[in-house]
Amino acid sequence: MGLLMSEMIGHRGVASLAPENTLAGIRKAAELGLEWIELDVTLLGDGTAVMFHDPRLNRTTNGRGHLKKQTLAAIKSLDAGSWHSEHWCGEKVPELDETLSLIKELGLGLNLELKPNRCDLHRLVGQVITALEQADFPAEKLLVSSFNHKALVLFRGRSEHRIGCLFETLSRSWSHKAQQVGAVSIHVNAEKLTEAGAKAVKAGGYELYCYTVNDTQLLSRLKSWQVDGVFSDCPRNLERCL
Ligand code: G3P
Ligand code: MG
């Protein structure tokens, strides 16, 4: 079992039960008793850091077009809840600042995934570091990750917060990249992880987390490989396997 995060991490909040990357999703995760959640952070065109996964608005809001062309005022006028279900109608895309405040208030742990989606990396990293400082976010409740290695290098250059390296698959360079940023954990696509890969990560002294795990068979396989924790959209369905 992992020491850095928990065995079960709510993916994008708790994506099957509430709209992803929203304050409602964070509250829902806390209500379910989850201790850690994962959220994606990116920048709007005006430089505001917001919680959002896709490069475009279409899937998770009632807006259209690219997120990087939006201002904060424009994004706040959108509904980021109705696409999930009518129950969440009126839910907004949250800014990083308000997100950190709520998570801190609820006492949750946060895996903050830097999701550049072609925004300026220096600006994204700068905004994230400023927001973490302003929120006085507890270091032991934070783990920063990204698929974008350059973003992690920039982050490490300016912060001592814990870093996890995110990979779709474990390439030959995974260990070198992890060492370069002083990572404490490796996060891999659960479907692409092999037993040999899991062994190599553990032998390297890293904790190992897998995304996105929504079925019990997959969870059992990963647990038999000593995976420390998983990101799940529907943690309730997996509880009996823990
Ligand atoms: O951080 C784990 C997972 O969220 C990575 O994939 O596309 O859901 O951000 P994605
Ligand atoms: Mg993510």
Identify the nearest ligand to the CA of 212 by its number: 1
Q: E strands, the chain, where? A: 8-11, 36-43, 49-51, 109-114, 142-146, 163-167, 185-189, 207-211, 229-232
Number of domains into which the chain is organized: 1
Closest C-alpha among 91, 93, 59 to residue 73: 93
Q: What is the pLDDT of residue 3?
A: 79
SS3 180: helix
Tell me how far apart the alpha carbons of residues 172 and 189 are, in angstroms, rounded to a whole number.
16
The interface pTM score, or ipTM, of the predicted complex is 0.99
Asked whether residue 195 is assigned to any structural domain, the reply reads: no
User: Letter for the amino acid at 51?
Assistant: M
Report residue 36 as tokens. Answer: 């850690």
For a ligand 1 pocket test, name from 21, 212, 228, 233 the mutation site with the most ligand atoms within 8 angstroms of its C-beta. 212
Inside any domain, residue 152: no
Residue 54 belongs to domain with CATH number: 3.20.20.190
Q: How high is the pLDDT of residue 66? A: 97
pLDDT tens digits for range 145-164: 999 999 999 999 999 999 99
Closest ligand to the CA of 54:
1
| Residue appearing with tokens 């995934």 | 113
Query: Is 9:212 a contact under the CB 8 Å cutoff?
Result: no
Residue 30: strand, helix, or coil: helix
Rounded Cα distance between 97 and 99, Å, is: 5
pLDDT at 181: 98
Whether residue 186 lies inside any domain: the answer is no
HSE-CB at 157 with a 13 A cutoff on CA atoms is 10
Q: What is the dihedral of CA 169, 93, 57, 164, to 10 degrees?
A: -10
Q: Judge if the beta carbon of residue 38 lies within 6 A of ligand 1.
A: yes
- For the cut 90, the answer to whether the pLDDT of residue 240 exceeds it is no
* Annotation says 122 is catalytic: no
CA–CA distances in Å: residue 38 to residues 172, 200, 231: 26, 24, 7
**Which structural domain, as residue segments, surrounds residue 16?**
8-146+207-241
pLDDT digit string, tens, across residues 85-97: 999 999 999 999 9
Closest CA to 169 of 202, 196, 142: 196
Q: Is residue 171 part of a domain?
A: no
* Residue 202, domain member (yes or no): no
Residue pLDDT, tens place only, 90-122? 999 999 999 999 999 999 999 999 999 999 999
Q: Is 74 a member of any domain?
A: yes
Does some domain include residue 236? yes
